[in-house]
Structures are given as structure tokens and as C-alpha cells.
Copies of this chain bind each other. A is one copy, B any other.
Amino acid sequence: MTYVVSHNPTTGESVVTPYEETSPEVLDEMLSAALTRLSDLRGQTLDERAEMLRTCAAGLEGIGDLLVDVGGAETGLPEARLRSELARTVFQWRFLADVVRDGNLLEATIDHPYDSPMGPLPDLRRQMEPLGVVGVFGASNFPLAFSVPGGDTASALAAGCPVVVKAHPAHPRTSGLCAEAISRSLRSLGLDGAFHLIFGLEAGVRLVEHPHVAAVGFTGSLSAGRALFDRAQARPTPIPFYGELGSVNPVVVTLNAALARAEDIGRGFVSSVTLGAGQFCTKPGVLFVPAGPAGDELVRVATLAMTQWSGATMLSVSLRDRYLEERHVRGAATLAESLAPDTSAGAMGVLLGVRAAELGPRDIDELTRECFGALGIIVRYDTVDERARILDLLEPALTFTVHAEVDDPEGPSLLSYAATRAGRVLVNGWPTGVGVSWSMQHGGPYPAATSAAHTSVGGASLRRWLRPVTYQNVPSPWLPLALRDENPWGVTRRVDGVQQPGARRGTRL
């Protein structure tokens, strides 16, 4: 048996955990149990489903102190950060409970028979149903919010799909504790078997290739994500693979913005780059700053801010070592370097600078490559055309930020362009911090995500795990409840082409 080992990136200590790498036989058993649970989840009312999510939220909340403790030891993240991540994680389950209760996720649609211009049409009724068992790969950088109890797990259960999560090796004990809390919560509702945790790289690959798995959610690196995506697509029965792969998130500062707010922007940039030791997929990787005195001042402030930063402990020694290798970018000069804490995985922050005019396509490839860690690159541009040329060469991103004044003549066209290059577009803010809300989009065109049409955060994140079914001429007593004429659940529906608001109208926590 191979027991999983947990490492402390602050002290360098290692602990053998009670968890074993999952064998093929155990994985088979888990997936069979999960598949059996599918029909139970499918049979839930909206309120039962929501109650299930709220029970899990309470279960996680109940071990909050322990999670912060163990999570801190495994990730080196400070307590305040983990407390706020826990709050976010628990909120996400409750928010998704509200999304379920709202009922709009069913997209209930009814067309009574009629003589249409294409001829007589039968009785047709459509709703969304759970896709099947979902496999989840959590990320290292959010041991709670994007890991075992994260959005992929919560949204898949919210959609009525059983879940099998592959634990990230960077925080096995945290993963195990979260899994126990979720399993205990489900068991209290008679739903044990709807959730499982597995360990080990090989088990993860098997999960993606297993015939019982209907879809996969993944948060992590481009290379690992693409490798698993390729396996998911090469299966005899290909399955959706929703990978959120991170990105370099460009920030454009217009000349007017630099003139008006050089200091704020310079300081804000470094603060966003260094947040979470730069280990956020929404880290603003490249800042476009105009040439001239206002831009010079912005860079001066940013340089000072980076120099004054204290550095941070990264999530693991191997991530830190990779960061140190990748911090050098062709053609860029080091503008500033912070201190690094004296911990096992401690790392400094780095600010690089480069002139747009000097950048060739090969250099831009390097700029485009996401660097996990507190590295920020400032690109100085002389003209808007020069800036546009480089922006066009960058890969699409999760986010695209514009710093501009409200009366900036560049504003509207920059915004419109930004929306073609990213899933989320910001004005005069910073992309780190992804709110959980009905309106959130976390994703973007490849390589930011493997599917631009979906989000891994927010009210629409459930849609990844649903598929439509149409019922034709089905007698009312055999119809799903949301599709019966009398609308017993009171959901909003489209009936004979017309939207009909139901009793459930949605809420905001």
C-alpha cells in the first residue's frame, strides 16, 4: 500500500496520512455506488436538493477551526485568508442551494399541441436533468473554495450528479477532512455513496477514463488540464471536460488613467500580483503602461511597492522552485525584487519591465505563459497601435482589465475588444477576487478554459452538469413534476412560447 504524505511548506516537515492511493478495484466500487445514487438525486424535489446542499454547508462550517488549522499547515496560507476562503466556500454551497430552489436551472418549457406553420406539432415538454456521475480535480491554490468542497463539487451535487473528487496532493489532510464532512452530511440524509474522495495520479487518470463518469471538472495547470482533456475526448464515449486552466490576465492602463491615478494603479497592481503569493489564476500577469512621465510615475510606485513587500510562503517547495525557474522572461529587465520569508517554500515577489517596441512574437510567447507566483510584468507602450499589436498576440484570458477615465475616448472600444478576449472584463479594478453570484463568469476562451461557454463559479456553474430531455405526448402522471400543467413546484416556465413567471422568483443571500 502507498500512503499519501502531507508536506508543510512553511516548516518543511512531512507527515504520513492515513490515506492510501486509490486502487482500481476501490475506484470501481466507488463509481458503482455513485452511479446507484444518481437516481436518488434525480428524484429529489428542488427543496430536498437545496436542503442537501445546506446540510453540507453546515457540515463544513462545523469543522471550520480544524480546516483552518490543518489547511494552514498544508498550504502555508495565513489564517485570515483561510477563514475568508472557508466563508466563501460555505457561502457557495448556500448560494447554490438558492439557485436550485429558484428552479430556473430546470429551464422548464412546455409547448401544447398546435397547428404550426410547419404542420401540426405534438405536446412537447423539456427540462434539464442531471448528466451523470461527475469527476472533480481540485486545485492546489484554494484548498477549500476550488478543491474538495469547492464549486465543482457543490455545483455537480446541486445539479443532481454524484461526485468523485481526486484529492490534490498539496493538501491531502485538508481534502480528507472536507470529504468526511461532506460524506457525513450526505449520510445523515440517507445519501451515502453520492460523494467519494480518491487519491493518487493513476486513480485520477482512471477516473477520467472510467465508463461510469459522465463529465469532469478540473481546476489547475494548462499542461495537466490539457493532458486530461485529451484523454476525456479520446474515450470511446467522449465526455465533457470543463477545465479552468488559468491565464495571464492583461491589464491596460490608458494614458488618461495614468495621468489621473498613477499612484493608485501602481500600488493596486503590486497588491493584486502578490495576493496569495501570486498563486491566483486571476493574477494580473501583464500591465500595459503608457510611455511618458505619468507612466514613469506609475512604474516608480509599483517598483517601490514590490521592493517593500515581505514575500510569502508558496503552496509547495516544487511550485516555488518552478517559480524561480520561470521568473526570467526574455528581453525583460528586473525592476524590483522583494524579500523572501525564511520558510521552506518562501519566495520573493518580482517585477519585470519591457518596452513593447522591443517585443517580438517569441518574446510574447513567454509573456503569455502563466507564471504561478508573485511575478508581474510591466509592458511600456508608445502608441495605441503598438499596444493593440501585442494584445492581439496574447492568448485569450480569464479576465481583461481596463484602467480608463469615464470620459476616456478609448474606453468603449477597449471594453468591446476586451469582451472578445476574456470571460470577465473589469474597469478600474483588479481581477483577483472572484465573487460568487448569479452574474459571475469564471472561464474564458481556450486556453483560459477548455469550454468558453461555461463557468466554474456562480449561478450558471450548474449548467455544466445538466442535459435537456424532451417529453413528447407523455401522460401527465408520468411527467416530471415541473412539466405538469398545474406547475406544482411553481417554477418559472416558458409555456407556448411565452415566459410565465412562477412563484419561485429567486433570491440573494
Contacts and interface: CB of A to CB of B under 8 A. Distances in A.
A239 B35 CA distance: 29
Interface in A445-469: 445-447, 450-455, 458-460, 463-464, 466-469
A501 interface: yes
A45 to B, nearest CB: 15
A496 interface: yes
Contacts of A446: 237-239
Most chain B CB inside 10 Å of its own CB: which residue of A240, A419, A501: A419
Interface stretch (A118-126, A175-183, A314-322, A364-372): A118-126
B435 A118 contact: yes
A215 to B, nearest CB: 9
Interface in A425-456: 425-429, 435-441, 443, 445-447, 450-455
A506 interface: yes
A339 to B, nearest CB: 29
B439 A110 contact: yes
A116 interface: yes
A98 B497 contact: yes
B498 A505 contact: yes
Interface residues of A, number: 94
Contact of A470 (B230, B423, B469, B509): B423
Contact of A124 (B234, B238, B437): B437
Interface in A82-134: 84, 87-88, 91-92, 94, 98, 102, 104, 107, 109-111, 114, 116-119, 121-122, 124-126, 129, 131
A497 B97 CA distance: 13
Q: How many copies does the complex hold?
A: 2
A424 interface: yes
Given A419-B469, A470-B423, A119 B84 contact: yes
A111 B492 contact: no
A474 interface: yes
Given A240-B453, A424-B470, A497-B506, A475 B98 contact: no
Given A411-B475, A419-B469, A509-B116, A124 B439 contact: yes
Given A126-B438, A441-B470, 13 more contacts: A87-B119, A88-B119, A104-B494, A121-B435, A126-B441, A129-B419, A131-B452, A238-B450, A240-B451, A438-B494, A441-B468, A496-B508, A499-B505
What are the 7 closest A-B residue pairs judged by CB atoms, nearest first? A497-B508, A441-B470, A124-B439, A233-B233, A121-B435, A126-B439, A426-B472
